[in-house]
Amino acid sequence: MKALLALYEKHKQKHGAAALIPPKNPSLKANETRILVFVRVRPLAKKETEAGSRCCVRVVDRRDVFLTEFASEKDYLRLKRLRGRHFAFDASFPDSASQQEVYSTTTSELVEAVLQGRNGSVFCYGATGAGKTYTMLGTVESPGVMVLAIKDLFSKIRMRSCDGNHVVHLSYLEVYNETVRDLLSPGRPLILREDKQATCFTIQIKYIENEFVGLDISYLCHPVNCSINSPDSNLSLKILTGIIAAGLTQYRAYSTDEVMILLQQGNKNRTTEPTRANETSSRSHAILQVVVEYQVKDAAMNIINKIGKLSLIDLAGSERALATDQRTVRSLEGANINRSLLALSSCINALVEGKKHIPYRNSKLTQLLKDSLGGTCNTVMIANISPSNLSFGETQNTLHWADRAKEIRTKATNANEDLLSVPETETDRAKLVLDLQKENCELRMQLARQHQKLMTLQAESLAPPTPPSATSLLSTPPTSARPNEKLRTRSSFIAATETKSKGDEVAVTIRTIQQRVKALEAELEKVKKNHSLQLKQKDDVIRELSQKVSTAKKRSFWDITAANSPSVTTLNGRKTRSHVISEPTAPSSMLLQV
Ligand SMILES: Nc1ncnc2c1ncn2[C@@H]1O[C@H](COP(=O)(O)OP(=O)(O)OP(=O)(O)O)[C@@H](O)[C@H]1O
């Protein structure tokens, strides 16, 4: 360590302290922002210590990484010589950094931005076994960025609105051997569709009493999901363009608990395999996307639709062919992983060099990351590295790419806003009440179904075990059913969740639905109350206005009377004016005297 520190100081003296400070937004144009790059060093693994490895990485001032190359023990000429290289990033985390610290520094601002209607992406990059999944997913005791981001998101939403205005949609997919798979409802591979214009628009076809009266087309800046909404008289079509995985499940999520269950389900479906470098190596790139959509009113009472998207990406590890000892399936996986990471590095190179053509189409991964790398998005890259000198090559490679990624510019994002010009009318409010009632009804039905499921599970657990039938004894175990099925689950995060019984999951879902039903009922009450309050206010205004009208009428009548009446002298000598209304409708009381 002393030697490392001395080398670092020497480097600092030679090149000056300024050389150690990363260039702060060099030559950024007004509407540009750059990718923020962070580095995290994991602790030395037991296996590495046992193999006698030495630490070749040092984090200085929580920002700089100093990488040392030790001369080979057989290289007698250079035995005592050290070579070092210095890298500077937006922040660097030593092996002692906590998950919360990593989350707060790298991602919490993105979560805030997503709630303002902006897009954000976080991706972990690094060699196999460098700690990407630990950073992204973590363990039950130390949850990672994905879990902390979702918790933070829901707690921020709760603080902002109690009226259920925010709608959260969730999707989780993996890219395995160049095929895209839905992790939330596994099935056939998904097809990626690309459209040159990454926009989304809503078409509203308007009918009044079955008569077509017009078309409303409004553009959204960013694709969200595909939905068809058909209330009584209006058909509203939300059409998506940009890169989409056709058929990908978009779950509407109501609470953190629910998202956690979905995340656990997704991770169980993710492809992991033991390799020599990592016991539970992720063999696929996983992308969790959270879309938050909500409406706000501006000063002119226009309704503004805001959409923010957060993509959290755990890439598969880059690896040398020799680092994994299996051939066949594993080597094919490795080749595909390397190919997609190579495509990613080509895109990074093209973006840094400002080329017009960026080869996103070279792999499924880069197609899916197009938004994060070159689109209107705030992007964060976390490069994970091992401190062991046995992984020097991989670490150097990762640091090289992380250093290069600092140069990528993305367009500064404006909030994804969609102005809904339709003012809130009586019919809109009635529609809202109907929608809420419908949703409430659906949730109640879902609740009943879940209750039923729970009862069945409880009954099953109480029933005495049945002897195995002849057919079940003969049937093959389910693990060998599909070649692509995951053979091992992740030891940390998932293993703990697997012990959780299905009954627990159902109970959590029931609790979530019950909470949602309650929230909906409160919301419904609020809307109804608001509605009757507004009606009452309207009545008051009408009453006040009619009073004003009648007073004004009286006044104008008197003005006319006063102008037309002749002046007469009364018996007591005072001058009076009198006028008899000639209009037949005027009542006799309107004979006025002053
Ligand atoms: N910061 C850390 N603190 C403690 N343990 C860590 C840390 N980072 C990684 N580990 C441990 O190191 C091992 C490898 O980490 P992980 O599975 O996250 O690597 P990976 O980069 O995702 O690898 P692969 O690309 O093969 O999936 C795991 O056992 C993990 O628990």
The Cα 119–Cα 376 span in angstroms is 7
The pTM (predicted TM-score) of the whole model is 0.62
Q: Going from the first residue of the chain to its last (594 residues), give the mean pLDDT of each consecutive group of 10, the final group possibly shorter.
A: 52 48 46 83 90 88 86 58 82 95 95 87 90 92 93 88 74 89 87 59 55 53 40 42 75 86 87 65 86 80 81 80 52 71 82 83 86 76 93 90 82 55 53 69 76 76 52 35 38 45 69 74 73 71 74 61 44 38 36 30
Distance 559 CA to ligand 1 centre (A): 91
Burial 247-257 (b: 16+ CB within 10 A, else e): ebbeeebbbbb
Phi, psi of 288, rounded to the nearest 5 degrees: -105, 125
Closest CA to 594 of 576, 574, 569: 576
402 known member of a binding site: no
On whether the CB atoms of residues 94 and 40 are closer than 8 A, the answer is no
Q: Which residues contact 511 (CB under 8 A, 6 or more apart)?
A: 257
Distance 395 CA to ligand 1 centre (A): 14
The Cα 49–Cα 51 span in angstroms is 5
Distance 130 CA to ligand 1 centre (A): 6
Token pair 């189409």 is found at: 361
Residues whose beta carbon lies within 6 Å of some atom of ligand 1: 42-43, 45, 126, 128-134, 278, 280-282, 316-317, 384, 492
C-alpha pair distances (Å), 493 with each of 142, 147, 315, 370: 9, 11, 17, 29
Of 128, 134, 494, best ligand 1 pocket probe by most atoms within 8 Å of the beta carbon: 134
131 known member of a binding site: yes
129 known member of a binding site: yes
Distance 317 CA to ligand 1 centre (A): 10
Dihedral angle at the C-alpha atoms of 60, 61, 64, 66, nearest 10 degrees? Answer: -10
Distance 234 CA to ligand 1 centre (A): 52
Distance 286 CA to ligand 1 centre (A): 15
The Cα 332–Cα 206 span in angstroms is 54
Distance of CA 509 to the CA centre of its chain: 21
Packing angle, helices 145-160 and 99-106, rounded to 10: 60
Question: Which is the closest atom of ligand 1 to the Cα of 277?
Answer: 26
Q: Can you give the pLDDT at residue 149?
A: 95
Q: Can you give the pLDDT at residue 104?
A: 96
Q: Provide the token pair at 296.
A: 């706000």
The Cα 364–Cα 450 span in angstroms is 37
Distance of CA 398 to the CA centre of its chain: 26
Question: Which is the closest atom of ligand 1 to the Cα of 41?
Answer: 1
On whether the CB atoms of residues 240 and 224 are closer than 8 A, the answer is yes
Q: Can you give the pLDDT at residue 464?
A: 57
Closest CA to 405 of 25, 14, 34: 34
Identity of the residue numbered 336: N
Distance 280 CA to ligand 1 centre (A): 9
Question: Which is the closest atom of ligand 1 to the Cα of 492?
Answer: 31
Task: Specify the DSSP class assigned to residue 190.
Answer: B
266 known member of a binding site: no
Other Cβ atoms less than 10 A from the Cβ of 20: the count is 18
The Cα 302–Cα 92 span in angstroms is 44
The Cα 301–Cα 123 span in angstroms is 38
Residue identifier of the C-alpha nearest atom 7 of ligand 1: 42
133 known member of a binding site: yes
Superfamily of domain 2-194+243-420: Kinesin motor domain (3.40.850.10)
| Ranges of each domain in the chain | 2-194+243-420, 195-242, 424-460+490-566
Q: Provide the token pair at 432.
A: 């809202």
Q: Can you give the pLDDT at residue 238?
A: 42
For residue 328, give the H/E element and its range. Answer: helix 328-352
On whether the CB atoms of residues 242 and 200 are closer than 8 A, the answer is yes
Of 133, 395, 486, best ligand 1 pocket probe by most atoms within 8 Å of the beta carbon: 133
The Cα 358–Cα 244 span in angstroms is 18
Identity of the residue numbered 429: R
Distance 88 CA to ligand 1 centre (A): 23
Question: Which is the closest atom of ligand 1 to the Cα of 97?
Answer: 1
Which ranges constitute the DSSP H helices of 115-172?
A: 132-136, 145-160
Residue identifier of the C-alpha nearest atom 23 of ligand 1: 129
Question: Which is the closest atom of ligand 1 to the Cα of 272?
Answer: 27
Phi, psi of 546, rounded to the nearest 5 degrees: -65, -35
On whether the CB atoms of residues 373 and 401 are closer than 8 A, the answer is no
Other Cβ atoms less than 10 A from the Cβ of 69: the count is 15
Other Cβ atoms less than 10 A from the Cβ of 476: the count is 7
* Beta-ladder partners of 272: 282
Question: Which is the closest atom of ligand 1 to the Cα of 278?
Answer: 26
126 known member of a binding site: yes
Q: How large is the ipTM?
A: 0.98
Residue identifier of the C-alpha nearest atom 12 of ligand 1: 131
Distance 373 CA to ligand 1 centre (A): 25
Question: Which is the closest atom of ligand 1 to the Cα of 139?
Answer: 31
CA angle 195, 199, 202 (to 5 degrees): 115
Regarding beta strands 378-385 and 36-41, do their DSSP bridges make them parallel or antiparallel, or are they unpaired? parallel
On whether the CB atoms of residues 124 and 384 are closer than 8 A, the answer is yes
Token pair 């090289």 is found at: 400
Residue identifier of the C-alpha nearest atom 15 of ligand 1: 131
Residues in the chain: 594
SS3 161: coil
Burial 383-421 (b: 16+ CB within 10 A, else e): bbbbbbbbbbebbbbbbebbbebbbbbbeebeebbbebe
Closest CA to 352 of 413, 400, 403, 405: 405
Distance 46 CA to ligand 1 centre (A): 12
Q: Can you give the pLDDT at residue 533?
A: 72
* Beta-ladder partners of 55: 388
